[in-house]
A = this chain, B = another copy of it.
Amino acid sequence: MKIAILLFDRFTSLDAVGPYEILARVPGAEVVFVAAERGEVRADRGSLALVADATLDEVDSADLLLVPGGPGSREALSDPVLLDWIRRVDATTEWTTSVCTGSLLLASAGLLKDRAATSHWNALELLGSLGALPTSERVVLDGKYATAAGVSSGIDLALTLVGRIAGERVAQQIQLLTEYDPEPPYDAGSVAKAPAEIVELLRANNLAITG
């Protein structure tokens, strides 16, 4: 299984690395990080960089494509080369997937037209304006298109996909290996659960796009 993970300047690191950690453990998985140019790609905070080992030109197919989000998705949304690459690879995939505002890129590439999809909670309206049918679930599957909500939800997306791709037993093994038995010390991880003033504060500052 060939997995391509797209990187662009100012992506959100956990959007890419959460699913990577799960998917890369599937027997036979071969992952490649892809970007406009080889080498360092800086994430949104500047202090973390992942390495792209292949350029867009060097990768024209994948069994699974993963598109992360991040503040850099704003520029990426209007990058015809990037959107064309997404469409080209999507034509070859069994699964085309995104985390957080990565779904805005899939939608801008025309892949989520009238499909159920999700994104960061503060980007759902924008996702709808791009032709998708936004839902506020954490992981949304519509055909071969699998989208996850904000940042950390990519881990749940990836385990869901592993179950489909390699079966429940492999997914459970990977869950145990990565000791994914979450115990958040606070209960503020969704709009429904967080204190209302925190939701309003973040909405007012339009900080969601930083996911």
- In the assembly, what is the distance between CA of A190 and CA of B178, in Å? 9
* Residue in B13, B49, B188, B210 whose CB lies within 8 Å of A172: B188
1/0 per residue A105-148: CB within 8 Å of B? 00000000000000011000000000000000011000000000
By a CB distance below 8 angstroms, the chain B residues around A210 are 177
Q: Is chain A's interface secondary structure helix, strand, loop, or mixed overall? A: mixed
Q: How large is the interface on A (under 10, 10 to 19, 20 to 34, 35 or more residues)?
A: 35 or more
Determine if A188 and B176 form an interchain contact, defined as CB atoms under 8 angstroms apart.
yes
| With known contacts A30-B47, A152-B155, A179–B120 Cβ distance under 8 A | yes
A32 proximal to B (CB < 8 A):
yes
- In the A-B complex, the 4 residue pairs with the smallest Cβ-Cβ separation, listed nearest first, are A150-B179, A181-B189, A172-B188, A14-B21
